[in-house]
Amino acid sequence: MALRGDQGARRLLDVHRQEVCWLDVDDPGILLDIDVPNDWPPQEGQVTSEP
């Protein structure tokens, strides 16, 4: 299944709901929305995660 446009992974998660395993993640970087190469690297002041 391919994603097109700005639909994110929501459709994939809906279609494969029975296969989804949710995890608690203690990393603010999980909230970054990276869709195209210009979205990365984060701009100064944005949330980043430590290695």
Percentages of the chain per state (helix, strand, coil), in multiples of 5:
30, 0, 70
Per-domain boundaries in the chain: 24-51
Q: Which amino acid is at 31?
A: L
Q: CB of 47 within 8 A of CB of 29?
A: yes
Checking if the pLDDT of 41 tops 80, the result is: no
- Whose tokens are 């999980």? That residue is 30
10-36 pLDDT tens trace: 788 888 899 989 899 998 888 877 777
Q: How far apart are CA 46 and CA 37, in angstroms?
A: 16
